[in-house]
Structure 1
Amino acid sequence: MKQLLTFLLMCLLTTAWAQTPQSNLNDKAKLMGTLIDSLTHKPIPYASVALMAGEKTINGCLTDEAGVFELTGLSEGSYTLQITGLGYRPQLIPNLIINRSTNVSALGIVQLSSSAQLLKSVDVVGQAPLIEHQIDKVVYHADKDIGAATGDGADVLRRAPQVTVDVDGTPSLRGSSALRLLINGKPSGLMGNQAADVLRSIPASQIKSVEIITSPASQYDAEGTAGIINIILKRKTIEGVNASLDAVLGSLRSIGNANVTYQRKRLTLVGNIGGNKLWHQVSKGSFSRTDNRFNTQTQQSGSQNDTRYAGNGNIGVELDLSKKSTLMMTLRGNTSVNETNGTGHTQYRAPQETNAISSTIKQWGSDYSVDWITDFRQKLRREGEEISFSTQYSHNEGQPNYQTRLNYEQGALWAERSKGKNNWTEKTAQFDYTLPWKKGSLAMGAKIIYRQLNTQRDVYQLDETLVSEQLNAERSNKLSYEQTVGAFYATTNHTLSDLLSLKLGLRYEFTQLEGLSVSAQYYPVFYQKYGNLFPYIALMRRFKKHDQTLRLVYNKRLQRPGIGYLNPFLSASNPFYRSQGDPSIKPELTDQIELAYSQSKNKYNLNVATYYRLTRQLIERYTRLSLNTLKVIDSTSSQTVVATDTYGNIGVLTSWGVNLFGSFNLSSQWSLRSSINLSTYQLSLQKGYTDLITQTGVQGSINGGTQYQFKKGLSVELSGVCNTPRRNPQGWNNHFSFFSINIRKQLSSKKGYWQLNIVEPFQGIKTFRTEVEGEGFYQTSARFSPFRAFNLSFNLNIGKEIKRQNRGSKINNDDLK
């Protein structure tokens, strides 16, 4: 393996040296230009460019990732330039004069129109493509899906191909939640929390598109064994002042958002503010466990009431320092307040005792996060040559709290309270350089990330009045944690022929982490240091007929354990259930091979991808039972069987999978779409975890919909999602499905719309079940949650949009599980 990696690195360096442009290669002329999308003004990579003399092809190439093409060694004469790109209308440029005396003929910018656009000047009723398949990713254009206009980020991802989202809002890609979630190509200060919290903070109406990258190239962080999901937010660049308003009034939650943009010559100012509120929602649940090891039985039932408020905002400045240099600065923030009140009843049966216990629990907290991002880009002399420098500072603070009380039927009482504080800081610096050459390009860069986390949990034992309290030093905890990640990468693109291209990449990442956890007399110190090489190889073959492509990709990635997986603090807000991290967990490593085929025509798009994925040192959560002595307030003790969840490198996971997607335009007004994802789960347990119940099987998801556009701005959409139960080392959880209806009416000014969204009109309460089986025990749980929803949305845009080059940040901190 080391010999292979060394060979790839030598190929990258020698190819870069050999391909670097030299002066006076020949005395013939050359033709240069750049292809961009006529709507988005984004570069079009890997489009076919052919220079024709009559019906004979004289020369040709594929555009690089920046949309740049270059044809060299040309003789004088009159030619026709033929341009074709996947998903775009072919374009011919006739009577193109090549004159050797000018040496270089520059076409400049060439715009291509989407093949799905209907070029009419009156009442365009046609439909633009919802899903776009590019060389290294799939793009879901959420702003063109009327069903994705209400809710939050999780609701949008449920409609995206290859993505599944469970009832709690946690996304998975190809059956694995080990993915990286980015916003506009960058992480958020909220990333220290769960992905579900990040998605809840994003209004659906603000999402422009979702990029799904299943085999990321070397310029991306190696973190995220399942891949990367990049959420692109809407952004308007206009002359003068532009504003937009979005509001959703719903039966389960309400959302509001406002945007303002100002542009004057070289200066652009952007501002956004929004908020959402989850109305009081009451859900019920049940739990049952049979334990043959300790000969106990536990039955629980209860209900809880959830409330949540959240706000977000950002301000941005873009300044063109010159024609070739740009400076961008963005400040964004999020804040939320949440509260859960629950009651329950437990029947606990053991050989020596039987207890009936009533309980109350209150969980509440708040958090806020800020991100400060700076990007500088400088274009150099060659077309497409560029350097960039980016920095990012992120900070997050949270205050999680809980209070629990148990009342035994014998009159005994147990109660405790916990007060917590989290403080997370992340600093990033990154440098990138891009150099195009004849039939290829080179990109290289370096990056460093420093993270620091301090947490504190103070646990108090309460008396009967729930007022007097005493600190429980054994349960209280302080944690100090630092992590440093350094990375270097290089990638090369090669156009081997008119229809064949090759991309090679190599990335090295070094990781060092250390932490100290303090709890009474327990002082565990954990320290890890490791370095990894991550090769990337992609070969793409384009076929002239029907805009077909075939792509074969190999890459290697890793998944570092997040602090929640490492922290040894014992969290026990429920005395019958505890969770604890393991500081000895190592990163999981994944090798993946993917073969993908796509075909695009005016009336349909088809994509089929198959993959093989092998994950070593798999990180998974598992449950084990143990006896625990519970000290109640009257100084007596009660022994109970406690379930403890923790994490470990439990074994090797092998997965085969297939992704199918198709969209069909039955007419200019009526379209259909469907996506099917299937994958296997084959787990081999390693020593120390053989008491777990090995699970094998198939899991998958399907989503689809149909949309019809009537005249006068009226649209109707029906859609549905169904996820099979997700496998885990000890069972399965969360079968999930829903059905929705969307009716949208465009305003007469065509600058906004009204929309009615109905979710699960025929089922008010949905049931979500989980099954866990371990050594000597079997348990099931069910949650009954309100799901039927009625949402009325309003959107209004003010101002005239113009098109301008996209200037996204280079920072992608996609590296924590």
Structure 2
Amino acid sequence: MWFAPIFNQTAYIPKKTFIPMKNYTPKSYTMKNLLIIKLLVFGLILGFTSTQAQQKKPPVKKGQKRQMPAIGKVYGVVKDASTGKPVEFATVALVNMRTKKIVTGAIANDKGKFSISEVKLGMYQLKVNYIGYKVKTLGPIKLFPKKYRGDGIEQNMGEVSIASSTEKLGTVTVTAERETMEIKADRKVFNVEKNITSTGGTSLDALQNVPSVDVDQDGNVSLRGSANVTVFIDGKPSGLTGSGRQAALEQIPASSIKKIEVITNPSAKYDPDGMSGIINIVLKKNVLRGMNGFVNLNVGTNDKYSGSLRLGLRTGAVNAYVNYSGNLFNRFMNSTNVRETYNDARDTTTFLNQVGDGDMQFHSNLLKAGIDINLNEKNTLTFSGLYSIRGFGRDMITDQVNEQQVNGGNRTFLSRSLLNNELGSDGNNMDFNAGYKRYFNNPDKVLALDIRHSRSSSLFSSDLALAPRNEDGTPTGGNSALTINETDNKFNITTAQLDFELPVNKSVKLEMGLKTTIRNIFNGYSVLNDATGTGNYIPDLTQNNDFRYDEQVHAAYGIYNHELTKKLSFQVGLRVEQTMSDAVVENTDQSYKNEFLNMFPSGFVSYKISKQGTFTANYSRRINRPRTRALNPFIIRIDANNQFQGNPALLPEFINSYELSYTHTHKGITLNMTTYFRDIRGNIQRILLEDNVNNIITRSYDNLESGRNYGIEGAFNMRATKWWNFTLSGNFYKTEIDGSNLENELNNEAFSYQTKLLSNFKFSSKFNAQVTGRYRAPIVLAQGEMEEVYSIDAAINYKVLKGKGTLGLRVSDIFNTRRYGFLTNGTDFMQVGNFKPETRIAFLSFSYRFGKMSMDARKMRELRKKRRKRKKRRGNNVPNVDGIN
């Protein structure tokens, strides 16, 4: 039996935060929805009242209660103070100066005109408000006949000019008041756009600050201790993450990210790939009406530069945008590696000591453009395209010494060499997307079609020069052995998805859909050797190879949602996938074909024990398909003592994932506690195979018998004061690995934990700061463990240029403690390694926002259209959505 959370549960949102309504259709709203809109519209201006003014009122007879006739009228036009253009759909309210309450109001039309009729005579103030503008107050308005010292029963306010407010825009658009963490029914949402400790960095830096997410020295992303995680961009798989996830994520600047969603137990609607779930990176989009833009520039110590530019144009029917980002990073690094290899037959031990220093450079340029077209209130088209180019280079010099010990005696010198390894990679990526959405009278009834094609290519080269040295490190005078490795990678991914949401009644909803994914991947590998160092390179035909991998996945899913009571609801779903794959090693004519049908059930149950607390339980079955690099069987020589070889016989691993969680939200506090258990069959693990005769270690992958991962995860967000809020998170878990099916019986288990603290300080409306600390304890591997990692980052921001600009300074890894180490044990070897990249970096940043600062009025226009239709259908004596007759 499966258990699940409420499908439409929302997290705690502070009262000051404005959340734009998505996919709003005028004909679809019930009376309850109209009441909600009423509260939203007038909630924006409620409370903006001033002191009571005392004026002489018309005389009344003694003993009779004064009753003012509703014969007054107030009208005018709202205009932008800077441009003089009308402000569409501004909210106008009349506030009684005696009671300080809103008595009536109106919404300006598309020409900025407003008119409030049938107003009781009295003393009023006029409040004019619109998102992105300062509140304008006019008055007192003496709505009396002139003979009673009034200004008349009709008041023409003329042109009411309102000024734009960047401060207000920051609150509404950038959700400055929104909490750092939100707990939704099926995911945790981390609003990282105000996370200034990743300023100047990439999406990898932003991911470092997300609870339960970890990024290692190679840019590998893991969730709850598992690297088997699927990364989406804007809810969809992208070619950016199809060919080298690290290089892809380094192309996305942190300044372009709005939020990061973590879905640890996705429903049947989502692809079941990834053992630990889905990380969805949501990029910023244009939500401002008119022409607007944003520019961000960053410079870091030791030649690090990055920048981004966003331009957007939104009208009533069209939203067009262009985004560009580029970066150039230089970093230095050093590493040590010590290996002992045992040969029992000869009673000898061989020692390898490697010490390396190097420099790395990464550069990228990314351009994305798109357009959303609202054909009418029920039909929307979306088109977008992305093009990126990237390059990577690394120059590493390693001094390596080989020694030997026989029969437990003293170590004797064998050889010494200097290895110069120059790596280089260049590539490009293209994404194309077309989407269509159809809305119906019921807002929960939606039909969506999405077609996406991604293609990427890259050329990776490695130049190895092995120069012999004497024992004291001086050159021997001999020639260097030279090797050139080249890998040509090409990825083509096409997806087509159709989703349909159908509400049966108020408590039952159905979801169904189809999806097809086609992947075509090519790896070409070639090796040139020059043993004499004279420049006469000879192809090594024993290593040259081409590898092709083709895969098709056809899926269908169905989900049943039922809200039994206001407190109890459940969801059950089933996804069926037919997978066909074909892997071919061309020079050996080896072919590995797989075809299988799999079912992936999911289930959620949610029980709301109070307004603040909710229990949820869920289950899903998942799959982790091996990556093409793990399947490719030809050998890649890293250096003379290390190489990599994939396993074409590698099979997917299947995971049964269970969760039970509790969420509590109350007065600025959000608490989430989750206990989870994952049972893994056919556990894919990275293994090391030793050749103790030639002193070579081969890295590969294999399917182990099983694995288990279970633990407790907690996240606590609190707004302690008006100027300080923090998020504290932790994950304590145990990993068990059962490799009894292999010859060496790779069994291992251990407890581990990680914790993060994100603390925000708002000293004034212009000045804020942030400090982030993180610690990850050692984690277990099939043949050893990864050592602990910890660091502290800090940043400050200051608003300039009347709030339109922001200056920032951040320092990552202040105490320079972030280093990565590992310990690996095999049957006949032991290896200890450390890698220390440049992590203490200071970034100075500047960002500037320009253009028209007003929110999209499309939804307000639809609101007015709905109101007119209701009045026409029911007569004029019906309250409007804003409470005005």
Name the TM-score, length of structure 1 as normaliser. Answer: 0.81
Change (3 A) 1:803 1:536: farther
Distance across 2 between alignment mates of 1:803 and 1:701: 42
Q: Which letter does structure 1 place at the counterpart of 2:314?
A: Q
Q: Which letter does structure 1 place at the counterpart of 2:832?
A: T
Shift of 1:429: 1.0
Q: Which residue of the partner structure matches residue 614 of structure 1?
A: 679
Q: Which residue of the partner structure matches residue 432 of structure 2?
A: 372
Q: Is 2:17–2:177's contact at 8 Å kept on the other side of the alignment?
A: no
For residues 386-438 of structure 1, give each alpha carbon's deviation from its aligned partner in whole angstroms, at most 9, with x where no partner exists.
21111111000000001112123464642211222111111111111111121
Q: Which letter does structure 2 place at the counterpart of 1:536?
A: S
Distance across 2 between alignment mates of 1:736 and 1:282: 19
Distance across 2 between alignment mates of 1:669 and 1:792: 24
Q: Is 2:427–2:458's contact at 8 Å kept on the other side of the alignment?
A: yes
Q: Which letter does structure 1 place at the counterpart of 2:246?
A: A
Q: Which residue of the partner structure matches residue 632 of structure 1?
A: none
Q: Which letter does structure 2 place at the counterpart of 1:391?
A: I
Matched, 1:798 2:843: no
Q: Which moved more, 1:733-742 or 1:220-229?
A: 733-742
Q: Is 1:306–1:339's contact at 8 Å kept on the other side of the alignment?
A: yes
Matched, 1:256 2:307: yes
For residues 205-257 of structure 1, give each alpha carbon's deviation from its aligned partner in whole angstroms, at most 9, with x where no partner exists.
11000000011011100111100000001111332211110111111522100
Change (3 A) 1:254 1:725: farther
Q: Which residue of the partner structure matches residue 428 of structure 1?
A: 495
Change (3 A) 1:254 1:805: farther
For residues 353-402 of structure 1, give each alpha carbon's deviation from its aligned partner in whole angstroms, at most 9, with x where no partner exists.
81112211111110111000000111234432221111111000000001
Matched, 1:653 2:707: yes
Q: Which residue of the partner structure matches residue 831 of structure 2?
A: 779
For residues 759-782 of structure 1, give each alpha carbon's deviation from its aligned partner in whole angstroms, at most 9, with x where no partner exists.
23333x743211100102111011
Shift of 1:188: 1.9
Shift of 1:152: 0.7
Q: Which residue of the partner structure matches residue 467 of structure 1?
A: 535
Alignment counterpart, residue 450 of structure 2, candidates 390, 402, 413: 390
Distance across 1 between alignment mates of 2:39 and 2:266: 25
Q: Which residue of the partner structure matches residue 566 of structure 2?
A: 498
Q: Which residue of the partner structure matches residue 663 of structure 1?
A: 717
Change (3 A) 1:176 1:458: same
DSSP 3-state at the match of 2:682? strand
Q: Which residue of the partner structure matches residue 272 of structure 1?
A: 323
Shift of 1:666: 1.6
Matched, 1:485 2:553: yes
DSSP 3-state at the match of 1:144? coil
Alignment counterpart, residue 566 of structure 1, candidates 613, 628, 631: 631
Stretches of structure 1 lacking an aligned partner (at least 5 in a row): 9-35, 46-65, 73-78, 92-118, 628-638, 807-817
Distance across 2 between alignment mates of 1:329 and 1:443: 24
| Aligned residue runs from structure 1 range 477-626, under 5 A | 477-519=545-587, 522-545=588-611, 547-626=612-691
RMSD of aligned alpha carbons: 3.1
Percent of residue pairs identical: 22
DSSP 3-state at the match of 1:147? helix
Matched, 1:399 2:459: yes
Q: Which residue of the partner structure matches residue 162 of structure 1?
A: 212
Distance across 2 between alignment mates of 1:196 and 1:422: 15
Change (3 A) 1:399 1:148: same
Alignment counterpart, residue 217 of structure 1, candidates 255, 258, 267: 267
Shift of 1:289: 0.9
| Aligned residue runs from structure 1 range 747-762, under 5 A | 747-762=800-815
Q: Which letter does structure 2 place at the counterpart of 1:745?
A: Y
Which of these two proteins has the greater Rg computed from alpha carbons?
2
DSSP 3-state at the match of 2:246? helix
Distance across 2 between alignment mates of 1:709 and 1:267: 37
Change (3 A) 1:430 1:357: same
Matched, 1:345 2:345: no
Distance across 1 between alignment mates of 2:300 and 2:413: 48
Shift of 1:597: 0.5
Alignment counterpart, residue 422 of structure 2, candidates 362, 377, 384: 362
Q: Which letter does structure 2 place at the counterpart of 1:532?
A: N
Distance across 2 between alignment mates of 1:559 and 1:235: 31
| Aligned residue runs from structure 1 range 138-157, under 5 A | 138-157=188-207
Shift of 1:731: 1.0
Distance across 2 between alignment mates of 1:83 and 1:690: 69
Shift of 1:82: 13
Distance across 2 between alignment mates of 1:538 and 1:172: 24
DSSP 3-state at the match of 2:621? strand
Q: Is 2:23–2:443's contact at 8 Å kept on the other side of the alignment?
A: no
Shift of 1:38: 6.8
Change (3 A) 1:465 1:499: same
Q: Is 1:403–1:573's contact at 8 Å kept on the other side of the alignment?
A: no
Distance across 2 between alignment mates of 1:678 and 1:42: 38
Q: Is 1:324–1:380's contact at 8 Å kept on the other side of the alignment?
A: yes
Q: Which letter does structure 2 place at the counterpart of 1:356?
A: R
Alignment counterpart, residue 789 of structure 1, candidates 829, 833, 841: 841
DSSP 3-state at the match of 1:239? strand
Alignment counterpart, residue 296 of structure 2, candidates 242, 246, 261: 246
Greater strand fraction, Structure 1 or Structure 2: 1
Change (3 A) 1:804 1:40: farther
Matched, 1:41 2:107: no
Shift of 1:489: 0.2
Distance across 2 between alignment mates of 1:456 and 1:178: 25
Name the TM-score, length of structure 2 as normaliser. Answer: 0.75
Q: Which letter does structure 1 place at the counterpart of 2:617?
A: L
For residues 229-286 of structure 1, give each alpha carbon's deviation from its aligned partner in whole angstroms, at most 9, with x where no partner exists.
000011113322111101111115221000111123312211011101112x221111
Distance across 2 between alignment mates of 1:728 and 1:570: 23
Distance across 2 between alignment mates of 1:454 and 1:388: 32
Shift of 1:42: 4.6
Q: Which letter does structure 1 place at the counterpart of 2:823?
A: E
Q: Which letter does structure 2 place at the counterpart of 1:767?
A: R
